[in-house]
Chain A
């Protein structure tokens, strides 16, 4: 590997995506609660709390603000040596990325075969026909939701109207299911019955 490539690779791995909580003199406080030192001669001016930037770390763990690039590493990857107060949280607070959360729904055999299956979520005030699911086979439906990382979407399953909302095994209204915005998140929901089909 040539020296130039080594330098580029080193620069790439030292870039971290952070959200400044505050800038104060030679301190840069970032989301995840770590506190970074700014490199000598580097000013906090122009850094807006709450708006993401990238920082590069030198060997002493001092940070230099950089232009934000899409390949910047998350805050949680910042090495411990860079912190003055405490390490960052393990949970990456980067919610710019969209992840796919897959929902599988298994419907009872009495479901009319020509009916579509829908998700109803709080996002539309529980519209009973908010998102039509894709059919996998006669009794299996699937929807791949694109959610922001960290999302937590409550949903119920319907056949397109409130009168056809899912019921639990005791035929009472079940609590909402939760789809989470994590990479490759997956939830399987088994519908025991519908409101209109016992």
Chain B
């Protein structure tokens, strides 16, 4: 990334994240075994548990339970808490990781409480909830370890960590599990990938540094490094470096900040050896209506700006809704935007305005026990140069449930679009002198009929079977009928896809997809995989 964009990135980080706080002190938990459950956020140490708090408080017991949702710990069996020269003992002790309260439960003396200074305990009203110790099955734990370091409300680092399955556990020397819920922890400045498994390196309540093992469509295997800085749900910034094992690296940046209840600002950038693309946006809500401004700029000298306003989704008879969106903006290119023209340099910036009408039906019941939903979208864009761009789209999706476990879906999507240049159509869409040659060398004579109007049509049928909550099968067949489209040019005519989601182990689920494009571009079929691991 060049110096100027990099400065913009760091300036944006500074502006966007005023609320990023420093990390809180950590808590460590040791035991003969430490098991962790990702859905209940429960940590349980057995066979001699030791808890060490940031203020120097140390606790020992036969077993310990930490509820990461409430930052509460229960020490069970021969429990003893020591801080400096003070110490308390009881059959069970409950304490707060962040708070001051310490509750003691002892068969001989009853219930009492003290503080983290461990002064004299006083008799207390019984709060049974504070001593609740969950009954768990260690075999369904997500992680098994011997040492856990907790940053409250942020993450847990396990050393070592094993992911137990019925056929053994996959061990790693260290694993950082982030359970912070701030929206920015889900943000990424990395491009999409077929597979992306993050591995946390360092984390705090407001930041995460993670290594990503990726499989990218095209380059194949890749390793990426990403830094996220987060301020709750209100702001974040993410910076990444993606390095495929074969291919060029990609730098990424992404940031967001909420500006009150009605406005939000976003910025992102992506840089490769070919240049950098930067984008900024501002969104606004006016009741149910809204507006948005987008500005994009590239280091190759291109830029575009769009400001749009939309109405709310207004009702029509029969449950239909409509929405109108109006926009204005410009497209610009250093040296000339309309390069087909001999005087292209006179058109380095071309303004435009547009209008879009969207109408949707509700999901309605139709014969044969099926449901149907349709949409229609019509848009026209006028340019300052004699040029209009029209699109007309329609979709229809039907579903028919044969039982609670078997459902059939059918869909139809069609989009027609046309570039219209009054008086200069042949300049922008000239008839080819020689036939277009396709990837396998086949000439595409029909391409000569393409003069700016395109059609995309697709029909799909999906069969979905869900025998139980952990298992789902789906088989999809998609047929496309476009123009221009021919033997490797455009979308494949036939695609078949199968997906299965299943849970081979109690704590690990898999989602595997396989797709085939048939008889396209000189190949009999072109397979693609998709793969995801679920806790």
Contacts and interface: CB of A to CB of B under 8 A. Distances in A.
A152 B501 contact: no
Given A127-B532, A135-B399, A171 B135 contact: no
B123 to A, nearest CB: 12
A95 B134 contact: yes
A146 B501 CA distance: 13
Contacts of B387: none
Contacts of A114: 411, 413, 458, 460, 478
B469 A169 contact: no
Contacts of A156: 183, 186
Contacts of B79: 22
Contacts of A163: 192
B239 interface: no
Contact of B181 (A18, A48, A175): A175
Interface in B97-134: 105, 107-108, 110-111, 126-134
Given A33-B128, A156-B186, A172-B283, A27 B395 contact: no
A181 B91 CA distance: 30
A65 to B, nearest CB: 15
Interface string B265-285: 000000000000000000101
Contacts of B135: 17-19, 31, 52, 75, 93-96
A79 interface: no
B535 interface: yes
Interface stretch (A2-10, A56-64, A82-90): A82-90
Contact of A113 (B264, B325, B397, B464): B397
A96 B136 contact: yes
The B interface, classified by DSSP as helix, strand, loop or mixed, is strand
A130 interface: yes
Interface in A106-154: 109-110, 113-114, 120, 122-132, 134-140, 144-148, 150-154
B185 interface: yes
Contacts of A131: 501, 509, 511, 532, 534
A74 to B, nearest CB: 8
A18 to B, nearest CB: 8
Interface stretch (B21-29, B33-41, B328-336): B33-41
B250 to A, nearest CB: 15
Contacts of B181: 122, 154, 175-176
B268 to A, nearest CB: 9
Given A31-B131, A126-B185, A138-B363, A95 B42 contact: yes
A22 B92 contact: yes
Interface string A1-45: 000000000000000011111111101010111110000000000
B113 to A, nearest CB: 13
A27 B107 contact: yes
Given A21-B77, A137-B371, A171-B290, A125 B37 contact: no
Given A49-B62, A93-B132, A134-B472, A24 B535 contact: no
A138 B256 CA distance: 31
B533 A138 contact: no
Contacts, number: 272
Contact of B69 (A17, A137, A138, A152): A152
B46 A33 contact: no
A24 B108 contact: yes
B451 interface: no
Interface string B311-340: 001000000010001000000000000000
B52 interface: no
B291 to A, nearest CB: 9
Contacts of B292: 171, 198
Interface string B213-248: 000000000000000000001000000000000000
A25 B108 CA distance: 10
Contacts of A136: 399, 401, 407
B373 interface: yes
B166 interface: no
A24 B110 CA distance: 13
A48 B138 CA distance: 14
Contacts of A93: 132-135
B174 interface: no
B81 interface: no
Given A50-B44, A50-B46, A173-B258, A31 B407 contact: no
Given A113-B411, A151-B40, A169 B91 contact: no
Contacts of B130: 33
Contact of A135 (B77, B310, B407): B407
A71 to B, nearest CB: 14
Contacts of A170: 261-262, 264, 283, 285, 290
B267 to A, nearest CB: 14
A87 B128 contact: yes
A23 B77 contact: yes
Most chain A beta-carbon contacts within 10 A, residue among B37, B130, B398: B37
Contacts of A96: 135-137, 140
A66 interface: no
Given A123-B39, A127-B198, A156-B183, A35 B107 contact: yes
Given A32-B128, A113-B413, A173 B183 contact: yes
Nearest to A149: B40
Contacts of B76: 19-22, 49-50
A154 B39 CA distance: 9
Contacts of A19: 76, 133-135
Contacts of B40: 95, 147-148, 150-152, 181
A24 B210 CA distance: 47
A140 to B, nearest CB: 7
Contacts of B74: 21
B388 interface: no
A12 B458 CA distance: 61
29 contacts: A20-B77, A24-B108, A31-B132, A31-B133, A33-B128, A34-B128, A48-B62, A50-B64, A86-B126, A95-B40, A113-B375, A114-B458, A114-B460, A122-B178, A122-B181, A123-B38, A123-B534, A125-B208, A125-B210, A126-B185, A127-B196, A135-B464, A138-B363, A147-B39, A148-B39, A152-B41, A154-B181, A162-B188, A176-B181
Given A20-B77, A139-B363, 5 more contacts: A21-B77, A125-B200, A165-B186, A172-B264, A198-B325
Minimum-distance CB pairs A-B, first 4: A50-B63, A49-B77, A126-B186, A22-B91
